[in-house]
Amino acid sequence: MARVISDECIACGTCQATCPVGAISEGDKYSIDPETCIDCGACEAACPAQAISAG
Ligand code: SF4
């Protein structure tokens, strides 16, 4: 199961640097590639907008 980024995303980019497998892509809202995510939770802990949750 991969984490997902909700509409609460403010596109700050904080999560992208925390991902150990490079699963997070930039955009108007950031997104997580479910094929790459290992569900470690690092990004969820780092998100200042609480936009990341278990998918
Ligand atoms: Fe990357 Fe871990 Fe977040 Fe998945 S849960 S996107 S592997 S930091």
Q: 17-41 pLDDT, tens per residue? A: 999 999 999 999 999 999 999 999 9
For a mutational test of ligand 1's pocket, the pick from 4, 38, 53, i.e. the residue with the most ligand atoms closer than 8 A to its C-beta, is 38
pLDDT tens sequence across 39-50: 999 999 999 999
CA distance 26 to 17: 11
Say yes or no: CB of residue 37 within 6 Å of ligand 1: yes
pLDDT at 6: 97
**Alpha carbon of 9 to ligand 1 centroid (Å):** 15
Residue where the block lists tokens 């470690």: 40
Token pair, residue 8, equals 């609460």
Query: How does residue 55 score in pLDDT terms, banded at 50, 70 and 90?
Result: confident
Prediction pTM value: 0.91
